[in-house]
Structure formats: C-alpha cells, structure tokens
Amino acid sequence: MISLETERYNKLNALAETDGIVIFGCKEDKNIPAGELCRAFSLDANLYNRSFDELSVKDAVEVYEQTVAPLNPETLLIHLGEADIEFFTQNPAEFDNKYRELINTVRKHNKKCRISIISLRNYNNDRNITEMNRHLKYLADSEKCEYGDIASKRVWNPKAEMEAVSFIYSIGFVSPLKNKRPLYDLVKILFCYEA
C-alpha cells in the first residue's frame, strides 16, 4: 500500500514547488484538507500533505527520502506514532532511535528545515499514548525541534483565528508572515481544525 501512495506522491512532486510546508503523518492525516485550510487562513506558502495510511516510524526514513526530501521543505510537520503504539510499548528506546534517525535524515537533506513533532491525540487518556507523547516531547526538546501538543481537546475558535489573521494582513503586516508563521499556529490550523 505504501508503494502505491509513494508512486502517487512522486507524480505529484513532479508538479510541486520546493521550500514549502509538508505534513508527514499517517492514518487520519491523509484527510487533512490542506488546500482549503491554506486558503482559509491565508497561509502564504506551498502546503503539501505527504501522509500515509499505516506509516510506521520504522519505515519513515525510507518513505521520507522517496516522497518528502524531493520537496526540500522549509517546514516539516511530523505526526507519526499512531501506527506504532504496539512497537512503542514493546521497545520505547528503539522507537526513540527511529524517530531520531528520521530527524537526522531530514537535517541531512536540509539543515535549515524547521521541524515540528506533533503529539498524538489522546482524548480518552490512554496510558500508552500519554507515555508516547512524553517521549515525543522529550525528542522534540533534545533534538531542538518544536513540539505541537494536540493530545487533548481544546476550545478553538477557527472563525476568530481567521479574523485575527485577516486583521494582521489588512494592516500591511503580510511579508513577515510569509512561511515563518509560528509553528504552533500551523499545528492548530492543520491538526485541530475540527476540534
């Protein structure tokens, strides 16, 4: 299945521009309406979704090199772990090593890439997911990445967010926001739009 998705993404990459924002996740991330959210929140950047149904952190380096590295992302939002809960509970140290390997691979391709590690949603307070998120936070801190915490439901008013963004643009503050929007704002927009 991943090979079919990889082939599809490689065809799309031939049409894509580099230096944008890339979502690299699994399962439900494939359904993030990136184009609509990009337009609704006036994200002045190329936004690409390179997520897979069952992507494991064990396969992430190979898949990254095939489908994301050609895009040379300026920003990478990594949301992996959903397919790895059993792997994590059996061997958390190896899970951490695989995540570090992915981060090192990203930096090998682009030293300036901004990386955000996104937590897993944990609306039911699952103990294993709580522990995995703790590891993801530690990895983000130790590898000097940003951490996007979406574990619990938050009150978020997308309409108010859109109005605030519109106000900032209307007062002429457009250029500083290009591609340098705070990563947590991107995480909120892309991963919490339905919360």
pLDDT in tens, 105-114: 999 999 999 9
User: Any idea where the domains of the chain sit in the sequence?
Assistant: 2-191
Asked if residue 176 has pLDDT above 50, the reply is no
In this predicted structure, what is the pLDDT of residue 36?
Answer: 87
**Residue 40 confidence class, pLDDT cut points 50, 70, 90:** confident
Asked if residue 175 has pLDDT above 50, the reply is no
**Residue 2 confidence class, pLDDT cut points 50, 70, 90:** low
Exposure of 163 by Cβ count < 10 A (0-12 exposed, 13-18 middle, 19+ buried)?
exposed
Residue 117 backbone phi and psi in degrees, to 5: -95, 125
Exposure of 120 by Cβ count < 10 A (0-12 exposed, 13-18 middle, 19+ buried)?
buried
For 51-105, write each residue's pLDDT tens digit. 999 999 999 999 999 999 999 999 999 999 999 999 999 999 999 999 999 999 9
For 125-163, write each residue's pLDDT tens digit. 999 999 999 999 999 999 999 999 999 876 555 566 556
- CATH number, domain 2-191: 3.40.50.1110
CA atoms within 13 Å, Cβ hemisphere of 184: 6
Distance of alpha carbon 126 from alpha carbon 79, whole angstroms: 18
State pTM to two decimals.
0.85
